[in-house]
Amino acid sequence: MDTELQTIIDNAIAQEELSHDFYQRMAELVSHAETKETFQYLAKEELGHKAFLQSCFTADGCKLVSHPKNVHLAEHLKAPEFTGDLAPKEALVIAMKREEGSYKFYQGLAALQPPGEIRDFLEKMARVELGHKEKVEYLYNNAAFPEAWHE
């Protein structure tokens, strides 16, 4: 593996660790039990993303099995201001916006690269982040309605 690509993967792993830490901190700061659980779930997901990236260093490499779709829900929502009593629905919007940013980040980096292994990897990472965004959008659409949460 090219050392430049290895550095990019190492940086991507560090980003997943930062995302895990971000969601853990958010979980510690909120008072609403379901919101805390939502952030803890998202933190755990980031560890799975890290494991995926670490698999890039194995003989089998990191393989994508899904083809996420961009439904552009996050692009139509505004992230709420963070407060200690954030509702689960608001927590999911924050997560959606974070994943949208990661998706656009990798897309932008890939566009700057010439065709080859590094560009292919960055495009794969953009799809991975789009998959994360898709999952959070699904949770928002199917679970984050005010009548479903207890105050």
CATH value at residue 11: 1.20.1260
Q: What would the DSSP string read from start to end of the chain?
A: --HHHHHHHHHHHHHHHHHHHHHHHHHHH---HHHHHHHHHHHHHHHHHHHHHHGGGSSS-------------GGG--PPPP-TT--HHHHHHHHHHHHHHHHHHHHHHHHHSPTTHHHHHHHHHHHHHHHHHHHHHHHHHHH--GGGS--
Mean per-residue pLDDT, 1-8: 86
pTM listed for this prediction:
0.77
**What is the tens place of the pLDDT at every residue in 71-86?**
777 887 888 888 878 8
How many domains is the chain partitioned into structurally?
A: 1
Q: What percent of the chain has pLDDT over 70?
A: 92
Average pLDDT, the chain: 85
